[in-house]
Amino acid sequence: MALITFSSPMHKDKTVYAVAGSHTQTILDLAKEHHIPIDFGCQEGNCGTCLVKVSSVDGKRRPMGGPLNVREVAALTELGHITKAEIEQMYVDDIPPTQWRLACQMIVRDEDILVEYPSK
């Protein structure tokens, strides 16, 4: 099981267990399940409302996560949180090139992560 810690300057930190390996549960699904108030809109990866910052708990490496999907690439590009070079490198490394993620698109993996919200 992965430990996911949600942190916000406006709320008390909350750490929850995620059932890793489901390959379907998003950060937003997990937040909603535990009543963690991450803003969201479309839930389709289009609006960027659910932008969060994701990092490894130890802070020593980028979280594995999964590579960004097409919708996440488009939204993060529009929001100015990812460059074309970072996108190209992502396809080589097969890991996300940035800590910025869309909570409705990032699938929980078997790793302990810190999710910071709101993103602004």
Q: Contact residues for ligand FES (CB under 6 A)?
A: 40-43, 45-50, 75, 102, 104
Choose between 57 and 87: whose C-beta lies nearer to ligand FES.
87
Residue of 15, 44, 55 lying closest to 31 (CA atoms): 15
Least separation in angstroms between residue 45's CB and ligand FES is: 5
> Do residues 62 and 56 lie in contact, with contact meaning Cβ atoms separated by under 8 Å?
yes
Degrees, nearest 5: CA angle 14-115-95: 145
Least separation in angstroms between residue 77's CB and ligand FES is: 13
User: Pairing relation of β-strands 2-8 and 113-116?
Assistant: parallel
Least separation in angstroms between residue 58's CB and ligand FES is: 27
Least separation in angstroms between residue 43's CB and ligand FES is: 5
- Other beta carbons less than 10 A from residue 87's beta carbon: 16
Choose between 18 and 27: whose C-beta lies nearer to ligand FES.
27
